[in-house]
């Protein structure tokens, strides 16, 4: 065991469990994937002879999709829905991860047990009321399908990797002269003259015959296929569905309210001042007599605050006129607290009160009555909370059993369904083009359906996370490969593709001519005259963050060499299909004296000069990583799709 992290805390009060996915851990790139992979499938890549298998890639891919979906409110935008691109990015992350792991091991970075224990204890997701809770720790790991040793080893390795990363990123610095140059470059502007060709307008003007459409389809028929599809049996487990079937009585809800009253009701608060006279044990009588004299002086009209400043031995409150501020039940020693809450009106004085600190004369300064919500006001909220708490506990237990049973008998869901009492459902045909509902159409579920282990080997899937405390396990019962579409199936699609191809050919030729004329010094206005598809871009001034053009085009413009007497031109395809031809006319790099800099610019310059700019550290780390990758023996297999 690692210290006492794994000791089960018994009889702890119920807590709201949260999934491990909310833990903010600086995992390097894809984190724990490599520890959970089975390693049985053929590798999709090797790094210095160490394999990266299909299962690791699938986990990394799913993790990336889920992270993107969370960034956009739970739905993956269409712009990020390119499965091939996301898989390639996930694979590159895994390769970088392995390269870093190799380098960290070579340099012997390590994290000791005490450091690891302290780091885990400080993770908010494993705390209850601000303190580490072993039950929360183990429950959340079980919920995520991880054992304690696997998590701790993963966390240890990733912490070591972060030490390596921060050792590079946090030690980067910039000389003042470099900072000055970087700030000037950041404010640089570039002016272009150009011609933009409208792809949509060109496509609308093109006519194609039925024969041409048929010929184009025949040449490209491999691009027009019905997607592979499958029918599945599956078990779905969702905490919110469990909660709907849990009954909570009013008596149970009332007991919860009483037990957790402080969560709903703010207790009465009082503000008080005191005069403290220190007294040795057995000598309190003299101090009591003295405080009775002071009490009489206050009752005669003297200022309590002035007397506290003069006589009180409590150095913390004497200068404040004896004020102790707000007092709530349980914050003071019992004798003092009882006396404060026995006073019934503002300004009332207590009799002398003996405590372990001495003898007190107390004045009540303010009463703030109890406030909050009654049981009736929060009854429905409490019932919902209790239902969800009970459902979460049942969910985690069922989740663990479901994972074990579906793994132990990988060729059937019947044992898992019988043992858990969960319904086994059968789907209609599923494919990548058909909306089969919010769960069955989820990318991570579809990826599992068409993974080699499930589709080809006929095994049960692993548990698939499809939402917060919502999992599915499935198996394929029938599947069909891709099959060709007929021309009638895709006639409109083929027609549009042919028109787009013809339009692109037409505009590419015009783009080339425009580049030549721009290079000869002609203005955009002259070039577009008489061209129904062209529009002029006249002396457009771009900054590095300009949004008038696609970001990749702006970046390309800023990567061009300065004109310096030479003609510099460029071309680009925009995201909507439009084509662009442009000429770089001027580059302006302002030299702004420090006295004229804005406060923000001056602060930025100070940050960079002091080495506080995180962008520089990130860049240096990327340079190191790229160097390590180039020196590594990386072998990527071509087929990385499931």
If we measure between CA atoms, which residue out of 531, 512, 514 comes closest to residue 523?
A: 514
Q: Are strands 353-355 and 424-426 parallel, antiparallel or unpaired?
A: unpaired
Q: Residue 505 sits in which domain range?
A: 188-224+486-588
Question: What CATH number has the domain bearing residue 84?
Answer: 1.10.4030.10
Structural domains of the chain, count: 4
User: Do 478 and 506 have their domain in common?
Assistant: no
What is the structure's pLDDT at 229? 94
What's the rounded Cα separation, in Å, for the pair 102 and 164? 12
% of the chain surpassing 90 pLDDT: 49
CA angle (325, 326, 330) in 5-degree steps:
125
Helix H or strand E encompassing 358: strand 358-368
Identify any residues that bridge with 364 across adjacent strands, giving them in sequence order.
Answer: 272
User: Do 166 and 129 have their domain in common?
Assistant: yes
User: Do 456 and 556 have their domain in common?
Assistant: no
Question: What CATH number has the domain bearing residue 277?
Answer: 3.10.50.40
Question: What CATH number has the domain bearing residue 424?
Answer: 3.10.50
Residue 6 has pLDDT above 50, yes or no: no
Region 423-439: mean pLDDT is 90
Helix H or strand E encompassing 331: none
User: Do 62 and 122 have their domain in common?
Assistant: yes
User: Do 515 and 540 have their domain in common?
Assistant: yes
Cβ atoms of residues 157 and 15 within 8 Å? no
The whole-model pTM stands at 0.51
What is the structure's pLDDT at 467? 84
User: Do 480 and 491 have their domain in common?
Assistant: no
Q: What is the DSSP string of 71-125?
A: HTTTS--GGG--HHHHHHHHHHHHHHHHHHHHHHHHTT----HHHHHHHHHT-GG
Give residue-wise pLDDT tens across range 74-124.
566 666 667 777 888 889 889 988 988 888 888 888 888 878 888 888 888
Give residue-wise pLDDT tens across range 226-267.
999 999 999 999 999 999 999 999 999 999 999 888 788 888
Give residue-wise pLDDT tens across range 462-473.
999 888 889 999
Q: pLDDT band for 536, please (50, 70, 90 cuts).
A: very high
User: Do 423 and 524 have their domain in common?
Assistant: no
Residue 151 has pLDDT above 70, yes or no: yes
Give residue-wise pLDDT tens across range 488-517.
999 999 999 999 999 999 999 999 999 999
Is 5 inside a domain boundary?
Answer: no
Separation in Å, CA 26 to CA 116, 164, 211, 437: 14, 13, 59, 34
If we measure between CA atoms, which residue out of 490, 429, 507 comes closest to residue 199?
A: 507
Residue 314 has pLDDT above 60, yes or no: yes
- What lies within 8 Å, CB to CB, of 75 at 6+ separation is 69
The HSE-up count of residue 422 (CA atoms within 13 Å, CB side) is: 30
User: Do 444 and 495 have their domain in common?
Assistant: no
What is the structure's pLDDT at 610? 46
Give residue-wise pLDDT tens across range 44-85.
889 998 888 877 887 788 777 777 766 766 566 666 667 777
Is 382 inside a domain boundary?
Answer: no
User: Do 53 and 165 have their domain in common?
Assistant: yes
User: Do 44 and 25 have their domain in common?
Assistant: yes
């Amino acid at each position: 065991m690692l210290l006492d992290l794994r000791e089960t805390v018994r009889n702890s009060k119920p807590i709201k469990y949260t999934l491990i996915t909310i833990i903010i851990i600086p995992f390097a790139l894809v984190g724990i994937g490599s520890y959970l992979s089975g390693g049985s499938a053929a590798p999709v890549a090797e790094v210095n002879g160490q394999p990266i298998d299909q299962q690791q890639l699938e986990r990394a891919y799913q993790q990336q999709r889920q992270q993107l979906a969370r960034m956009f409110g739970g739905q993956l935008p269409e712009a990020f829905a390119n499965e091939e691109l996301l898989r390639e990015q996930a694979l590159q992350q895994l390769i970088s991860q392995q390269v870093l792991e190799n380098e960290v091991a070579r340099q012997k970075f390590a994290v000791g047990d005490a450091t690891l224990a302290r780091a885990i204890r400080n993770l908010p997701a494993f705390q209850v009321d601000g303190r580490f809770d072993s039950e929360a720790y183990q429950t959340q790991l079980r919920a995520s399908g991880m054992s304690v040793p696997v998590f701790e080893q993963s966390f240890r390795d990733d912490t070591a990797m972060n030490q390596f990363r921060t050792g590079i990123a946090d030690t980067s610095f910039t000389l003042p002269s470099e900072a000055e140059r970087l700030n000037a470059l950041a404010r640089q502007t570039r002016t272009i003259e150009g011609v933009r060709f409208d792809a949509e307008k060109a496509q609308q003007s093109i006519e194609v015959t039925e024969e041409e459409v048929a010929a184009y389809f025949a040449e490209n028929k491999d691009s027009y296929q019905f997607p592979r599809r499958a029918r599945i049996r599956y078990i779905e487990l969702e905490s919110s569905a469990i909660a709907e079937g849990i009954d909570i009585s009013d008596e149970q809800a009332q007991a919860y309210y009483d037990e957790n009253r402080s969560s709903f009701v703010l207790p009465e608060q009082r503000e008080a001042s005191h005069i403290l006279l220190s007294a040795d044990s057995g000598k309190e009588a003299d101090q009591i007599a003295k405080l009775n004299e002071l009490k009489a002086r206050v009752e005669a009209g003297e200022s309590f605050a002035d007397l506290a400043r003069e006589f009180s031995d409590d150095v913390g409150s004497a200068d404040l006129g004896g004020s102790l501020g707000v007092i709530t039940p349980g914050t003071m020693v019992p004798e003092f607290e009882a006396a404060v809450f026995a006073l019934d009106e503002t300004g009332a004085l207590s009799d002398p009160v003996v405590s372990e600190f001495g003898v007190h004369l107390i004045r009540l300064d303010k009463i703030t009555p109890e406030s909050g919500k009654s049981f009736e006001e929060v009854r429905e909220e409490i019932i919902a909370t209790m239902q969800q708490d009970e459902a979460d506990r049942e969910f985690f237990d069922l989740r663990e059993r479901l994972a074990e049973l579906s793994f132990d008998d990988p060729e059937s869901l019947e044992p898992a369904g019988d043992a858990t009492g969960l319904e086994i459902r059968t789907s209609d045909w599923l494919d990548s083009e058909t909306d089969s509902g919010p769960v069955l159409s989820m990318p991570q579920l579809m990826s599992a359906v068409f993974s080699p282990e499930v589709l080809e080997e006929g095994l049960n899937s692993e548990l698939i996370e499809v939402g917060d405390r919502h999992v599915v396990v499935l198996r394929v019962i029938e599947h069909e490969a891709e099959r060709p579409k007929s021309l009638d199936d895709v006639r409109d699609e083929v027609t549009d593709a042919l028109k787009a191809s013809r339009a692109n050919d037409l505009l590419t030729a015009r783009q080339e001519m425009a580049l030549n004329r721009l290079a000869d010094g002609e203005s955009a206005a002259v070039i577009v005259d008489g061209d129904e598809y062209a529009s002029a871009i006249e002396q457009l001034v771009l900054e590095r963050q300009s949004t008038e053009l696609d970001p990749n085009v702006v970046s390309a413009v800023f990567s061009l060499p300065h004109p310096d007497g030479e003609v510099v031109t460029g071309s680009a395809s925009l995201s909507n299909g439009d084509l662009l031809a442009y000429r770089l006319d001027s580059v302006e790099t302002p030299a702004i004296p420090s006295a004229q800099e804005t406060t923000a610019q001056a602060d930025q310059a100070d940050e960079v000069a002091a080495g506080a700019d995180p962008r520089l550290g990130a860049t240096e780390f990327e340079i190191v990583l790229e160097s390590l990758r180039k020196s590594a023996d990386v072998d990527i297999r071509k087929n990385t799709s499931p």
